[in-house]
Structure 1
Amino acid sequence: MEFARRDPSVSYRMLQDLERGKRSRFSEDVIAKVEAKLAWARGSIERLASGVAPVDLIPTGEGKVEAGLKAASLAQHIVRDLADDIAADEDLSPDEANELLKRALEQARTQALMIVHMERERRRRDR
């Protein structure tokens, strides 16, 4: 229950109820906080409750193929979150929304590549 100590907005008792299956209904906010702290994809607790393994957002080193699948899952969640956020803006036409999504994704791609290249360069220097 280290999690409860790190995030007091989710009580120890609530986490116990979740772990033990004592309650079947939790607020979306609590579920989102727990999934985020566990680095699980959105919907993982629901998957777990139905007997399916949760989806990790962060690769844990099981191998390149599995880590790649988890990274792809994270990318899908990023796209969905961006699309949901843009869709909430009722002032945008569908064409404007699509253009904004494309620009946001291109910016995210550029930043991600920059991080990868900087890390690669750092590792080369440290050798």
Structure 2
Amino acid sequence: MSGSDQLSAVFSALADPTRRAILAELADRDATVTELTAPLPISMPAVSRHLKALERAGLISRTRSGKLRMSRIEAAPLREAAEWIEHYRRLWDTSLTRLDAHLAAVQAVGRPTDRTIHDPAVPQPLIQAHDKEN
């Protein structure tokens, strides 16, 4: 699977809240389907289908030990997704910083200073223009 296809599979798997709940459980410990089904309001076959989707996305691996089939979280695809998101978070932060600077500049141009308001020696263009017309 190519990098972009892998990332699509990861985000597709993460889009489901049940799969995110399963990953949260697996972040603490490896678990069987039975253990993963216990806190969820769905059947064991439904959990198995979610596990298959997570496995296809590379988010979990599954091993068999005797009759037990354990699921384990795989961090690498999550790290790749986080790095992808981080790139766009930095772009967003840069855009917000530029917007803050722009708003501060716009506000500074329109904001009168204390001296302008209280010092009659400071020329006031609108009053002068009005006086010249009369």
TM range (shorter): under 0.3
Computing the radius of gyration over CA atoms, which structure comes out larger, 1 or 2? 2
TM-score norm. by structure 1 comes to: 0.25
Structure with greater contact order relative to length (CA < 8 Å, sep ≥ 6): 2
